[in-house]
Every structure is written in C-alpha cells, then in structure tokens.
Amino acid sequence: MAKKYWLMKSEPSAYSIDDLKRDKSTLWEGVRNYQARNFMMKEMKIGDEAVVYHSSVDPPAAVGIAEVSGLAEPDPTQFDASDCHYDPKAAPSKPIWYCVRVKFKEKFTREVPLPEMRAHKDLQKMVLLQKGSRLSIQPVTAKEFNIVCDLGSRAAVKEKAQK
C-alpha cells in the first residue's frame, strides 16, 4: 500500500515540534473530532509522514515532519477524569477515541507560515487552505507535502549552495 501524507495540528503551548524532538516519539492524543479520529483509525499506517503544524499562534505555521510509527490504539486521555480530554462516555472496554504513535523526523530550518502557504499557487487545493477547514488531522497530497517540506528547508538548501 502506498505511503500517505498528512498534516497534524498541535498548539505549541500544549505540544510543540521541539517537544516531539525531545521525546523522540509520542501518542498523538487528545483529538476529539470523529473525522480526524477516523483518519487515524482507518487510514494512517506505519511509515506515513505528516507535516507538523503549529496552530493557535500568530502566524500559524508548518514547522517539521513526523512519521507514523504505531497504528491506532485507544487514546488513554479519554479514560482519565483529571485530563481535559476525558470523555465520561468512554470505557476501556468500549473506547471512543483513538490515536496513533508518531516519531520525530525533522524540524524545518524555517517555519512555513500560513500566509506563505496561501500565496503558493500549487497549494491552493490543500485541505488546510479551504474555507471552514478546521480538522486537526488532514490528508495532504505527496506534491503538497513535498512543497511544504521544500519551503521549510529552503534556508538549509541556500546555505549548502553558498558553501
């Protein structure tokens, strides 16, 4: 099966690309949207790659790459009454929410801010840029993934060319 590409949003005050780099891997927990959950449960596979996107900052931006390293499993936060993602309707015998494990792959040399992505002609159909799109997990095409990664690493490419 072909590798798929994703965009995974995170508020950096809750969990940032630097946190993922430090931890090396994490469960992508706390997602409470059925469509995003279904992407993790049914479509995300080990080896898929994701653009890590910092939301709720000014400006929001793509900041790096994670790789799916574990298939969907019940999100443990749904069972923890002290956690802000607790769901009283969930039970260990009947979980509602799932998450995947991701591992750190790369932090971009430069952040790719949302306005820059909006201005790029080859990203116009990207789910992130569609009106009303708020999903925390979104599919991206291989072309979109590569463009965002190239934009994020452009400074490194320029530095190598100058040496």
Look at residue 104 in the predicted model and tell me its pLDDT. 98
Look at residue 1 in the predicted model and tell me its pLDDT. 65
Look at residue 155 in the predicted model and tell me its pLDDT. 52
* Three-class DSSP labels, 108-123: EEEEEEHHHHHHCHHH
Between CA 2 and CA 45 the distance in angstroms is 10
Distance of CA 33 to the CA centre of its chain: 14
Reported as a single tens digit per residue, the pLDDT across 121-149 is 999 999 999 998 889 999 999 999 999 99
- Whether cis (ω within 30° of 0) applies to the bond prior to 113 is no
Rg of the chain over Cα atoms, rounded to whole angstroms, equals 16
Look at residue 157 in the predicted model and tell me its pLDDT. 47
The answer to whether domain 5-157 has CATH 3.40.50.2000 is no
- Whether cis (ω within 30° of 0) applies to the bond prior to 74 is no
> Which residues of the chain have a pLDDT value below 50?
156-161
